[in-house]
Amino acid sequence: MGHVVIDVMLKPEILDPQGQAVNGALPRLGFDQFTDVRQGKRFLLAVDGEVTDAHLAAAREAAEKLLSNPVIEDVVSVRAEQDIDSVRAEQDVDSVGAAGADEDRGQ
């Protein structure tokens, strides 16, 4: 089974209150090496078999018509991901990092 990963981000000129909130919180938690944060969203679409160019084209069309708001968002990435375990591992690293930060704060 293959997967298509779609990343959508707010356009640079659009105010990002969630990104600003995270950006303000990072230094208070000791993460002062970051200068800006932008919040986005990720979609994971499963397909039978391997991802083809037709799948990618359909995913891009779906991203532009349904998964994003073209007035305020850009579709920044549409890519094939044959090994879903690598996508999940990437997400697990993100969640482990967040859990570790909670543990560091005693939560």
User: Tokens standing for 8?
Assistant: 């959508």
User: Tokens standing for 22?
Assistant: 């995270």
Of 38-42, 56-60, 70-74, 85-89, the least confident:
85-89
How many Å apart are CA 82 and CA 68, to the nearest integer?
A: 23
Q: Kindly state the average pLDDT of the residues 38-46.
A: 96
- 37: buried, middle or exposed (CB in 10 Å: 19+, 13-18, 0-12)? middle
Per the listing, tokens 């090496």 go with: 33
What pTM was computed for the model? 0.74
Mean of the per-residue pLDDT values of the chain: 88
Domain ranges of the chain: 2-82
| pLDDT top residue among 89 and 23 | 23
- Share above pLDDT 90 across residues of the chain, in percent, rounded to a whole number: 74
SS3 of 11-43: the string is: CCCCCCHHHHHHHHHHHHCCCCCCCCCCCEEEE
The superfamily in CATH containing domain 2-82 is Phosphoribosylformylglycinamidine synthase subunit PurS (3.30.1280.10)
User: Tokens standing for 106?
Assistant: 């005693």
Please list the alpha-helical segments (H only) found in 29-66.
53-62
